[in-house]
Chains A and B, each alone.
Chain A
């Protein structure tokens, strides 16, 4: 667990104890409520996690290197953004990967597009987002995120 997760735990537990002391019955009622809300999500989340495992087997991080390093910048930017949308690579894998490419002289535009869609666009988590916030919200948010990832990437290419 990194330090931030630990802090998160400490804050949550402390607040929870406060809420128990302040109003025991209301806390218990709220727990029942949260349980029913999150209970429905846990199965989906586990399914998503195993889906990520599958995706990583078929699109391993190393293969992303070839896409990011391709010479046609426009095409590789769009493909990188698409690959970033469907995969979910831990940050501690993604940054060294992209860092080594940029050091080797690859264009940063596809790299930025990839890094941004990696976290902001979630094709794998889409079913859950759709269930919780509705189709319109999920589709619009992911499309906008994809578009803005490309905009951020192009702007970075100009500025940096």
Chain B
């Protein structure tokens, strides 16, 4: 049963491994060739994924949610669309590198339209690629294709928002997890640091801190962890269900 569950969870990996296994038996040359073809993309991945990892951390820590909502949210309008186009165009790396970034922006309040614009422009519009296109196909070809692509991406962003709603997206894993926040009353000295840092979650009643509400979603988790660390008697306990 357990093996089946693992296979089911990693369908793609199992499928590709099986394909290579069969090919290795049937035609070792082609298997080797496929392996060699993959190396280029593996190197590309190793060059880009660490950067994406750092960027998701940076966005999480340095960019407040309001800023994302304002810049990329439902009400960001044309300015938000242009910002998304810019973000997608100046980025580096293959489209799958855009997935984590888009996801974190989505969780922080970006609209579907803008996510589609980011993903599409990330995939299609790359400055080194445009230069390459000019070299082999000419400025006119590149320019016209670029203009048409940008228009298509914008139209697509708006069309997508008509068909796909936020509820169709998978719930952020963060929100589905049960977080339990508690304050051990016997340790609390009522210093009030937690209530000062996060008045939304803590308040002081009868010289002891109490939890006002449970954290919803992972976004607040980092802030809660911080208050737990700052608590002088370590009375704040956040237990997370993985």
Contacts and interface: CB of A to CB of B under 8 A. Distances in A.
The residue in A23, A38, A50 that gathers the most chain B C-beta atoms within 10 A of its C-beta is A50
B33 interface: yes
A96 interface: yes
Query: Chain B contact residues (Cβ within 8 angstroms of A): what range?
Result: 35 or more
B170 A132 contact: yes
Interface stretch (B67-75, B136-144, B184-192, B200-208): B136-144
A33 B221 contact: yes
Interface in B128-165: 128-129, 132-133, 135-137, 140-141, 144-145, 148-149, 152, 155-156, 159-160, 163-164
Contacts of B15: 47
A73 B48 CA distance: 38
Contacts of B148: 152, 155-156
Nearest to B163: A140
A75 interface: no
Interface string A102-145: 10000010001001100110100101110111101100110011
Given A43-B10, A148-B152, A50 B16 contact: yes
Interface string A12-30: 1101101100110111011
Interface residues of A, number: 83
Majority secondary structure, A binding face: helix
A13 B124 contact: no
B38 to A, nearest CB: 3
Contacts of B95: 119, 122, 125
Contact of B92 (A4, A120, A144): A4
B58 interface: yes
Contacts of B112: 137
Contacts of A16: 54, 57-58
A132 B103 contact: yes
B225 to A, nearest CB: 5
A22 B136 CA distance: 46
Nearest to A99: B136
Contacts of A46: 13, 42, 45
Given A37-B103, A144-B160, A26 B37 contact: no
Nearest to A136: B168
B47 interface: yes
Contact of B152 (A23, A34, A98, A152): A152
B120 interface: yes
A41 B221 CA distance: 22
Contacts of A127: 11-12
Interface in B83-103: 90-96, 99-100, 102-103
B120 A34 contact: no
A54 B174 CA distance: 35
A38 B56 contact: yes
Contacts of A52: 37-38, 41
A41 B23 CA distance: 25
A46 to B, nearest CB: 8
Nearest to A34: B56
B135 A151 contact: no
Contact of B155 (A50, A92, A148, A156): A148
A90 B40 contact: yes
A38 B41 contact: no
B66 interface: no
A86 to B, nearest CB: 14
A17 B157 CA distance: 34
The residue in A30, A116, A148 that gathers the most chain B C-beta atoms within 10 A of its C-beta is A30
A100 to B, nearest CB: 8
A74 interface: no
Interface string B214-237: 000010011101100100000000
